[in-house]
Amino acid sequence: MLHARMPGYVGAGLGRRPLLRATLAAAAAAALIVPLVAFAASGQKTQQGHDFPAWVGTWASSPMSGAENAFNPTTCPAGPGQFTNQTVRNIVYTSVGGNQVRVRLSNTFGTAPLTIGDASVAVAETGAETVPGTLRQLRFNGQTSVTIPAGDEVVSDPVRLSVQPLEDLAVSAYVPSMSGPATYHATAMQDSFVSSTGDFATTDSAASYPTTITCWMFADGVEVPGSPRVTGSVVAFGDSITDGFQSDPNANDRWPNVLARRLDAVHGSTLSVVDEGISGNQLLTDSAFAGVSGLHRLTRDVIDQPGAKVVIMLIGINDIGFTDLGLDNPPATAATIEAGYEQVIAAVHAHGMRIYAGTLTPFLTLPVATTGYQDAQGEVVREEVNHWILTSGAFDGVINFAAELADPSDPQTYNPVYDSGDHLHPNDVGYNVMGDSISLSMLLGQNQN
């Protein structure tokens, strides 16, 4: 099934509003812990008879609550009362192009209605500058402003703009007044910009954007029309390693970006890539600072993604590590993580998508003083989970990220060449190895001409 949201639609929480925290026992009692409700879009067919969706995501980020803002409180004004009568200019990196574009703005974690007084999309130049002649003011059901209820989001009307694959866009939103926390994405690994006082959404110049921030605010998706060339999306679903943490800022070297560049080079039909990773996120348990769990955000971030056809899932490391730190309730075991995977698989398959799992990458040599990930029992759990991923046959396929990044002489540890220095996250070389290790023929499958 192909999923999209209607232009100008303000969501009523169907699959987009985060659910209340549930224990694993409660989750196991339900067939699925998230409602599998989405809005269908009529697909079209290529001359070869291949279906393609009306819209596909070219960029996305998973929304989070700015109430805690634990990752970057000094470089992101997402907390209560920190953003008002200003414009944010988010710089985002496309995976595919198109001749039209629409933007998704979010108040998913807002505590009050959010008014967007003005918004735009443009091709980004340097810093907060936009390429002259490319800036398009966004409208919502024909209006230049829109009020988004707490817990919901809105999709703009389409605008004509020549969007190229693998280029930066500037998505700007002016907020006249806001007292509560923003809906944001903490670990952007990308500079964005905040204006001085006032509405500068339709200004090309960078002069009115004096402040650099390290998060994305309010924007959580950019979409272009599906086509015979772009027949759907790959959703990268995971934690900080999918989010690109410890990659070089502004380099777009997260493994989903590497995959997008490879897919763009394919001749014939291909897929877009959207990155739904959250740093610190867990599969089973909600976190105040790292977002609702993978299970609780599955419908919002995967099932409801427009044009989603394929999922690559890499999540579970924090369920293990946070257990060692005493932050997880209930404690995660290999059995509970595997049960969570089975719930994700069932939901994804029920919506006609394929799902591939990445094996959990090494962490045993982390410093004892700073984290619980080095715990020997945690390593036992990681290896048990990876064995299940590799041998259960539950997924449509497996990507052995762990083997790609491990030290050949000690597979419980990182290869130093790929280690960012924290022994948990890859560096840019490691992220490129991850992106390059994914079989394109496996992903494209029936979508390949």
Between strands 98-106 and 153-155, the pairing is antiparallel
Q: Helix/strand/coil (H, E, C) string of the chain?
A: CCECCCCCCECCCCCCCCCCCCCHHHHHHCCCCCCCCCCECCCEECCCCCEECCEEEEEECCCEECCCCCCCCCCCCCCCCCCCCEEEEEEEECCCCEEEEEEEEECCCCCCCEEECEEEEEEECCCCCECCCCCEECCECCECCEEECCCCEEECCCEEEEECCCCEEEEEEEECCCCCCCEEECCCCCCEEECCCCCCCCCCCCCCCCEEECCEECEEEEEEECCCCEEEEEEEEECHHHHCCCCCCCCCCCHHHHHHHHHHCCCCCEEEEEEEECCCCCCCCCECCCECCCCCCHHHHHHCCCCEEEEEEECCHHHHHHHHCCCCCCCCCHHHHHHHHHHHHHHHHHCCCEEEEECCCCCCCCCCCCCCCCCHHHHHHHHHHHHHHHHCCCCCEEECHHHHHEECCEEEEECHHHECCCCCCECHHHHHHHHHCCCHHHHHHHHCC
Question: Does residue 6 lie within any of the structural domains?
Answer: no
Is 4 inside a domain boundary? no
> Does 243 share its domain with 349?
yes
Residues of the chain with pLDDT under 70: 1-50, 324-329, 365-372, 374, 446-449
Residue 343 lies in a domain: yes
Structure tokens at 418: 């790929």
Q: Output the CA–CA distances (angstroms, integers) from residue 324 to 30, 174, 333, in the order listed.
A: 27, 42, 11
pLDDT number for residue 325:
62
What's the length of the chain?
A: 449
Does residue 356 lie in a domain region? yes
- Asked whether residue 41 is domain-assigned, the answer is no
Q: What is the pLDDT of residue 13?
A: 35
Do 369 and 392 fall into the same domain? yes
Report the CATH number that the domain containing residue 250 is assigned in CATH: 3.40.50.1110
The overall pTM is greater than 0.85: yes
Query: 175, 206, 221: which is the final residue of a domain?
Result: 221
> Do residues 274 and 415 share a domain?
yes
**Residue 166 falls inside a structural domain:** yes
Please, which residues have CB within 8 angstroms of residue 63's CB and are 6 or more apart in sequence?
A: 106, 108, 109, 153, 183, 184, 185, 220, 300
pLDDT given for residue 361 in this prediction:
97
Contact 430, 418 (CB under 8 A): yes
Cα dihedral 436, 440, 442, 443 sign: positive
Residues 6+ apart with CB under 8 A from 4: 39, 40, 41, 53, 54, 55, 223, 306, 307
pLDDT at residue 447 in the model: 44
* 381-386 contacts at long range (C-beta below 8 A, 24 or more positions apart): 381/320, 381/332, 381/333, 381/334, 381/337, 382/317, 382/320, 384/334, 385/316, 385/320, 385/334, 385/337, 385/338, 385/360, 386/359, 386/360
Looking at residue 17, what is its pLDDT? 32
Same domain, 108 and 173: yes
Last residue of a domain, one of 221, 245, 267: 221
Structural domain contains residue 285? yes
Same domain? For 436 and 381 the reply is yes
Specify whether 233 is located in the same domain as 356. yes
CB contact set of 220 (below 8 Å; sequence gap of 6+): 60, 61, 62, 63, 104, 105, 106, 108, 153, 183, 185
Residue 35 lies in a domain: no
Please tell me the predicted confidence (pLDDT) of residue 378.
87
Residue with tokens 């340097």: 126
Domain boundary among 221, 247, 268: 221
**Residue of 108, 81, 440, 29 lying closest to 278 (CA atoms):** 108
CA angle 40, 20, 61 (to 5 degrees): 55
Residues 263 and 176 in one domain: no
| Whether 258 and 274 share a structural domain | yes
Whether 79 and 131 map to the same domain: the answer is yes
The whole domain housing 203 covers 60-221
Q: Tell me, yes or no, whether 213 and 302 share the same domain.
A: no
- Asked if residue 268 and residue 216 are part of one domain, the reply reads no
**Statement to judge: residues 287 and 423 lie in one domain:** yes
Number of domains in the chain: 2
